[in-house]
Amino acid sequence: MSHAQAVFGKVAVLMGGRSAEREVSLMSGQGVLKALLAQGVDAHAFDPAERDLVELKREGFVRCFIALHGRFGEDGTVQGALELLGIPYTGSGVMASSIAIDKTMTKRVWIAEGVPTPAYVLVRRDQWQQLDLSALVAQLGLPLIVKPASEGSSIGVVKVMSAEQLPSALAQAAACDADILCEQFIAGDEVTCPVLGEGDQARALPVIRIVAPEGNYDYHNKYFTHDTQYLVPCGLPAGEEQAIQALVRKAYKVLGCKGWGRIDVMIDAATRQPYLLEINTSPGMTGHSLVPMSARAAGISYEALCVQLLHSAGLEHPAQQGGTA
């Protein structure tokens, strides 16, 4: 038995799943699985879309690396099932995961805690056709962003340049989610910053600046082209990176996140004020993904990152031994 097998036991890498991000999750999971196997971990692929989670217990898995993205993987549901099964898992717990997947709930917490985030209006799927579009434009300005409240990977996100484009953008978001987020557009630098750890020990990794073709950082440019530039070091003015890292750490902590996460930020070109857009609590681990890229800039290899995350796996409510909880 290798040292890693003795430390970690039998590990399931949860990948695939049933969300709109299944394809990306399979890429992430294969990368993680390969890295863990290379480090001597007894790791196995496990797709919750194809197998019941109860099989984890039956097959003797004692730890899970969650490489699922989006619904039924990043939203607290799998985390809750693993809590019930008593199997430690990577990343945030039930509450932080379920808040963080909902961009509106995340904004509410951030606003309450004084974390800057763009102005927004929440629209219900069954109400958008009755919406006063001119009032919405007056409130948020143009261009504005329309996106599903709970999807990731830029799925269903539309930058609306004119009031005439609003109905089709709202219809597109409504096809993905019951809640539609309309958000003020911040023109400026687009950056992202990963965080590792928990509480006061949380550490922000180097900021990555994203330069997409024509500023269009969509699903296709995220995963399937090589045209988008990712700059690490980010090349921001002195002090800005440290200020963003401090802000991101605070935003991560107030949501109660742990393990890891990645927060997307826009920096207003005119004022240099950073605005936090959203947090990913189960970030991508593909060849294009940003957390491994940032970690590498901090001297942490992909394999070391995977092992570090596996080390941090835990339960929010470990079972009481020798009695009822």
Catalytic residue, chosen from 63, 125, 209, 262, is: 262
278 among known catalytic residues: yes
Which residue is associated with the tokens 């995977």? 306
284 among known catalytic residues: yes
Which residue is associated with the tokens 């070091």? 233
Number of Cβ within a 10 Å radius of residue 136: 20
Catalytic residue, chosen from 25, 97, 98, 280, is: 280
CA separation for the pair 82, 89 (Å, rounded): 7
302 among known catalytic residues: no
CA separation for the pair 111, 88 (Å, rounded): 32
216 among known catalytic residues: no
Could you give phi then psi for residue 147, rounded to 5 degrees? -155, 155
Catalytic residue, chosen from 75, 189, 284, 294, is: 284
Judge whether 118 and 125 are in contact, CB under 8 Å.
Answer: no
Catalytic residue, chosen from 16, 17, 19, 21, is: 21
Q: Any bridge partners for residue 208, and if so which?
A: 192
Judge whether 21 and 70 are in contact, CB under 8 Å.
Answer: yes
Judge whether 285 and 294 are in contact, CB under 8 Å.
Answer: no
Which residue is associated with the tokens 């401090």? 246
Number of Cβ within a 10 Å radius of residue 38: 14
CA separation for the pair 89, 78 (Å, rounded): 10
Catalytic residue, chosen from 42, 75, 151, 264, is: 264
98 among known catalytic residues: no
Could you give phi then psi for residue 73, rounded to 5 degrees? -155, -35
CA separation for the pair 92, 78 (Å, rounded): 11
262 among known catalytic residues: yes
Catalytic residue, chosen from 153, 282, 289, 294, is: 153
CA separation for the pair 314, 82 (Å, rounded): 10
153 among known catalytic residues: yes
21 among known catalytic residues: yes
Catalytic residue, chosen from 75, 151, 241, 278, is: 278
Catalytic residue, chosen from 223, 252, 275, 302, is: 223
Report the SS3 class of residue 29: helix
All residues at 6 or more sequence positions from 160 whose CB lies less than 8 Å from its CB, including other chains: 142, 143, 144, 145, 146, 166, 169
Tokens for 75? Answer: 């939203």
* Enzyme catalytic residues: 21, 153, 223, 262, 264, 278, 280, 284
